[in-house]
Structure 1
Amino acid sequence: MKNRHDLLNRTSWHVLDESATGLTKNPMHSFAMDDTLCKRVSGENNRGIARTWVHDRTIVLGIQDSRLPYIDEGIHFLRENGYDVIVRNSGGLAVVLDEGIFNLSLIFKEEKRLSIDSGYEAMTSFVRHWLEDLGLDIVDGEIAESYCPGRYDLSVGGQKFAGISQRRLRGGVAVQIYLAVNGSGSKRAALIRRFYDKAVNGATTKFSYPEIIPEKMASLEEISGKPLAMTDLLHSLLLTLRPYSEQLGNLTLTEEDWHLYEKNLERIIKRNEKL
């Protein structure tokens, strides 16, 4: 495998697949679980954890979004359109989760070589290898007119299909990516644009929010012209991950993990109640 990122080479990779079971869970579960796995991996040398997750129709807001002048009107609009709303515990702005969005967290022990940039670069490198059979020219760089724009947006032909974020705590690093696999990227973007219209409503804000152009976003299925199933994507992910490690297996959560997870989930629920 050419040009693979050194951070991806691990003595072992363990996988926690929640791409099917996540559809029945609130996305707060995923943020609590990634925090839990950051603690788990912090005490283990040269191990990586890959967690896959898919959730039903939910808008995940950033902290800045929750402070918009007319946020109640914005949330009401999203709920009227059939979406739950939560606020995540990491940076960034509003993103869409639904059954056509595949999420992947790569979780590592924090170390000197794992800078913020190198974490993003490792995920970008992995995704290029993971999706290479689609024959796409994947570009990393901000698509300013997308929702939740960032330096490591992934796009093809100027249309964004993925965004990357990071969560660092308890000696661990979770590099998280969402990939719009199928469905309409422009419809998702139009929804978030209308949310900002409602939640800002012409008022002056301390933070600059994206001027979203829906056509700047698309799903991998729309871009490639090929039908894509989540089960096929998961299978190809495992095949891609295998060469990076001497051992690839399923992750088993301990009693201590579950206890910490429950505490993390309770903390996130309380934060959402306050916001």
Structure 2
Amino acid sequence: IDQAYEIIKGLISMSFPQLDIQSYEVTNSYCPGKYDLSVNGQKIAGIAQRRTTNALVLMLYLSVNGDQDGRSETVAEFYNEADAYSQSRWTFPKVDKTSMTTVQQLGFSDITRSDVEHKFLESINQQNIDVDVTSGSDLLISPEFTAERQKQLRKIQLRNAQLPIV
């Protein structure tokens, strides 16, 4: 899994060679994790993984542009309203909005999501990684995917039903 995280970190670093991207947990960001990507101590991305018997899926959240302070404040308010800090089963971070930033705030003033997608795909091509970007829509409507989505949704519903109402 760490090897897969390093591949994603490398691709993001290749996409933005001007940035000195580090990977470590930014503890007072929202959704902190071992493979947060940061520049100058501020989180710009988080990498998460999900595992099943036959697959490993990595997901990346990259803060490209927009109101990062507002996003941080929304998550902090959610934790407070949900009374997250009074329970002992999980640990929730005290979100400090200054611990996060966007690619735009790091000097890419006009960057768009499409620009980032293009940079990322260029990095993938430079590494000679084969990626199928065309058959995803077929997969999403396949009977196998639909059945698996329903199964996983039911699991989430069963887990949520066990949560205490505060």
**TM-score when scaled to structure 2?**
0.83
Between the two structures, name the one with larger relative contact order (CA 8 Å, sep ≥ 6): 1
Q: Verify the 8 A CA contact 1:145 1:210 in the aligned structure 2.
A: yes
Please tell me the residue identity of whatever aligns with 1:266: Q
1:32-47 matched pairs, under 5 angstroms: none
C-alpha displacement of 1:173: 1.4
Matched, 1:240 2:123: yes
Which residue is 2:8 aligned to? 123
C-alpha displacement of 1:194: 0.9
More helix by share: 2
1:18-97 matched pairs, under 5 angstroms: none
More strand by share: 1
C-alpha displacement of 1:179: 0.2
Which residue is 2:65 aligned to? 182
Q: In structure 1, what is the Cα distance between the partners aligned to 2:153 and 2:53?
A: 19
C-alpha displacement of 1:139: 1.4
Aligned length: 158
Structure 2 residue matching 1:161: 3-state secondary structure: strand
Structure 1 residue matching 2:45: 3-state secondary structure: strand
C-alpha displacement of 1:206: 2.1
Q: Verify the 8 A CA contact 1:162 1:178 in the aligned structure 2.
A: yes
Q: CA RMSD in A?
A: 2.3
1:1-275 matched pairs, under 5 angstroms: 116-132=1-17, 135-200=18-83, 203-245=86-128, 250-252=133-135, 258-274=142-158, 275=160
Of the structure 1 ranges 148-157 and 164-173, higher mean CA displacement relative to structure 2 is found in: 164-173
C-alpha displacement of 1:246: 7.4
Mark the runs of 5 or more structure 2 residues left unpaired by the alignment: 161-166
Q: Verify the 8 A CA contact 2:64 2:104 in the aligned structure 1.
A: yes
Q: Percent identity?
A: 26
Q: In structure 2, what is the Cα distance between the partners aligned to 1:125 and 1:272?
A: 32
Please tell me the residue identity of whatever aligns with 2:8: M
Q: Verify the 8 A CA contact 1:154 1:161 in the aligned structure 2.
A: yes
Q: In structure 2, what is the Cα distance between the partners aligned to 1:267 and 1:228?
A: 38
C-alpha displacement of 1:193: 0.8
Q: In structure 2, what is the Cα distance between the partners aligned to 1:246 and 1:195?
A: 39
Q: Verify the 8 A CA contact 1:167 1:173 in the aligned structure 2.
A: yes
Which residue is 1:83 aligned to? none
Which residue is 2:163 aligned to? none
Q: In structure 1, what is the Cα distance between the partners aligned to 2:47 and 2:85?
A: 29
Q: In structure 1, what is the Cα distance between the partners aligned to 2:121 and 2:112?
A: 15
Q: In structure 2, what is the Cα distance between the partners aligned to 1:209 and 1:257?
A: 36
Q: In structure 1, what is the Cα distance between the partners aligned to 2:36 and 2:139?
A: 37
Instruction: Tell me: CA distance 1:202–1:118, structure 2 relative to 1, closer, same or farther (3 Å).
Output: closer
